[in-house]
Structure 1
Amino acid sequence: MVSLHVNIISLSGKSEARRAIRRARALISPLERHSAESAVVAMAMQLGLLRRGLKIAAYIPAGSEFSPWQLMLSALVRDVEVYVPKVPRRGRKLSFVRLDSKNRWKLGPQNILEPLDGEICSPRDLDIVFLPLLGFDASLARLGQGGGYYDCTFEFRRMRRSWKKPRLIGLAFDMQYFEQLPVDIWDLRLDYILTGNKVWKRPIF
């Protein structure tokens, strides 16, 4: 298992944190990746996150990100509706396009594959969203790539006191955990993090 050996509190800010995490994450072996990705599928099924009839969103992995492909394929064979994000030409709010065999694909603004067409689902109508991340901490604060797309898309969740649909679930490797992250008020806090070795649940205060 790759370890960052970095105390996030000692970092000067998010940019340095992102660079450190990317360097370490790139060293994770293919075998370790596959093992973690398979374990996350088992965890998701045990938690009831892949039940028939649900509308879930995941993402097309880029670089060394935790890959949700096994998770998405497992959901599809269980008749779960799976959606992937599409980056807008303007603004920061993502749209979510249903994944199926008829999708046509293109490189989006971030050089990540995204569907050209397909059924659209509003973020508010999704049941579960599996998110990529660079780092997370014990409070399940999320450190993303810095674009702010997920923070902006799901900002409506911060206004709610009880109803939390959709549930936001991060996918990560164990080495992406830190005791405390530098966060801003607009940064998302997730409901769960799945790492393959552990299910992290957001603490209730």
Structure 2
Amino acid sequence: MTEISPERHALRARMREERARLGAGARIQAAQGLMTQLRQLPELTIDQHIAGYFAVNGELSLHLVVADAWRRGRQFYLPIAGARRQLRFAPYRNDTAIVPNRFGIPEPAAETAQLVDPAAIQLVLVPLLAFDRRGNRLGYGGGFYDTSFAFLHGQDRPTEPLLVGVGYAFQEVDALDEAPWDVKLDFIATESELISCEAPQ
């Protein structure tokens, strides 16, 4: 599972640059808009096990989503990058210690016994660099999400876990090439829209 397309590399670089140019005010406003869009998903209220990511390098922040989950008594999880491009998820609470992993990405300092498998999560908020409305996602090239949720291949979607890509509206592109190992998103949430990837485009 490798991505060597020069076009994908160029698109990643462009999206990183655009994201880095966002000021603090724009990021705060985007996080508020994202929360408004995500509230359209019944799963955000109903599901007990919700996973997201620790925003870095200008990613759209989930801090309002996390606070909402804690307020509702839901369990929120962050990903732990393991061997063989596999993710497991660790509980994240307001007193959880956070440490950088081997990629420099913040992760909970969790014991192995605390980790849960991807199939145990009900709603997953997935970071991205670019997306299209068919549910295709351009990630960071590591393949962790595609590997970890490969068990969804062949299943009727949407199902659990529900995969919701999170990104800024400017990260939308007309179309992304699909690879056999890609796991499509069910929804995409931006600061201005909730996109159903199952709806006719």
Q: Does 1:60 align with 2:62?
A: no
2:26 aligned to 25, 32, 40, which one? Answer: 32
Written as runs of structure 1 = structure 2, the 5 A alignment for 1:68-83 is: 68-83=62-77
| 1:116 alignment partner, one of 109, 131, 135 | 109
Q: Deviations over 1:46-90 (max 9, x none)?
A: 3223325520000111211111122111111111110000111x2
RMSD: 1.8
Partner of 1:167: 162
Larger helix percent:
2
Q: Counterpart of 1:157?
A: 152
Q: Distance in 2 between matches of 1:46 and 1:161?
A: 22
Alignment match, 2:12:
18
The secondary structure found in structure 2 opposite 1:91 is helix
Q: Indicate the larger mover: 106-115 or 161-170.
A: 161-170
In the alignment, residue 69 of structure 1 is paired with which amino acid? Answer: H
TM-score, normalised via structure 2 length:
0.89
The 8 Å contact of residues 53 and 81 in structure 1, kept in 2 or not, is answered as no
Instruction: List alignment gaps of at least 5 residues for structure 1.
Output: 1-10
Q: Which residue of 2 aligns with 1:4?
A: none
The corresponding residue for 1:96 is 89
Overall identity of the aligned pairs, in %:
27
| Contact 1:50/1:80 (8 A) holds in 2 | no
How far residue 121 of structure 1 moved from its aligned partner, in angstroms, is 2.1
Decide whether aligned partners of structure 1 residues 144 and 67 sit closer, same or farther in structure 2, where only a CA change above 3 A counts.
Answer: same
1:51 partnered with 2:74:
no
CA 1:77–1:64 in 2, change beyond 3 Å: closer, same or farther?
A: same
Q: TM-score when scaled to structure 1?
A: 0.88
Could you tell me how far apart the structure 1 residues matched to 2:176 and 2:46 are? 36
Alpha-carbon offset, residue 174 of structure 1? 0.7
